[in-house]
A = this chain, B = another copy of it.
Amino acid sequence: MPRIEIIYFSSYGHTARQAQAVLEGAQSAGEARLWSITEDGIVPDGFWTEADRADGLIFGSPTYMAGVAWQFKRFADESSKRWFDRKWENKLAGGFTNSASVVGDKGDTLNYMRTFAGQHGMLWAPLNQLPANAMGNGPVDRNWVGGSAGAMAISPADASPEQAPRSGDLTSAFDYGAHVAATAGRFSA
């Protein structure tokens, strides 16, 4: 069974719901756990050891001010020792993000995660879901948001975590988690 560790930051709870969907997807095809970065940018105890043993890592953060939240970036900076020791090379990586606006520069956030994973020598697993881009499509459709690098979600500024992300984004997150785990399984076999 491939082992996937999902590390993310969420402030208001929307990204946490997206993370939960990614988790459930990953668990449908492997072992997976969630690790939540604190408001101070601190990584939970035990994460580094498990990350070093994992087959794949999935990164998650809301998009704030054109990129990952600073708390996520603090984690990324702290991983520099792993980078130097090549602890994560050849593992699989993926990412997800959420923002209030439809585009909201979410692509910049995923591009960042991808370059970060590339520095570690990790393979990047993209979303691999065709967009639902006909006139009749909407937030209930998988990948209506139309991402490609990883899973994206939209949580309007006045929506509670119960109201958003909406079903299409959660399905996209679930299927992405399953895809990353299944891909890690092909590799670790």
Q: Are A103 and B152 in contact (CB under 8 A)?
A: yes
Copies of this chain:
4
Cross-chain pairs A/B with CB under 8 angstroms, 30 sampled: A64-B76, A64-B77, A64-B80, A65-B116, A66-B119, A67-B76, A68-B73, A70-B70, A70-B73, A70-B74, A70-B76, A70-B77, A84-B130, A90-B183, A92-B123, A101-B131, A102-B131, A102-B146, A103-B103, A103-B147, A114-B124, A118-B124, A118-B126, A118-B127, A118-B148, A123-B124, A123-B125, A124-B126, A133-B156, A134-B156
Query: Interface size for chain A: under 10, 10 to 19, 20 to 34, or 35 or more residues?
Result: 35 or more
Residues 137 to 189 of chain A near chain B (Cβ within 8 Å): 137, 144-149, 152, 156-159, 163-164, 183, 186-187, 189
A61-105: contact bitstring with B at CB < 8 Å (1 yes, 0 no)?
A: 000111111110110110110011010011010000001111111
The main secondary structure of chain A at its interface with chain B is loop
Cβ of A117 < 8 Å from any Cβ of B? Answer: yes
Cβ of A20 < 8 Å from any Cβ of B? Answer: no
Q: Are A128 and B66 in contact (CB under 8 A)?
A: no
Task: Note all chain B residues with C-beta closer than 8 A to A145.
Answer: 102-103
Q: Which residues of A contact B (CB under 8 A)?
A: 41, 64-71, 73-74, 76-77, 79-80, 83-84, 86, 89-90, 92, 99-108, 111-112, 114-119, 121-128, 130-131, 133-135, 137, 144-149, 152, 156-159, 163-164, 183, 186-187, 189
Task: Note all chain B residues with C-beta closer than 8 A to A124.
Answer: 114, 118, 123-124, 126
Task: Choose from B117, B128, B146, B183 the contact partner of A126 (Cβ within 8 Å).
Answer: B117
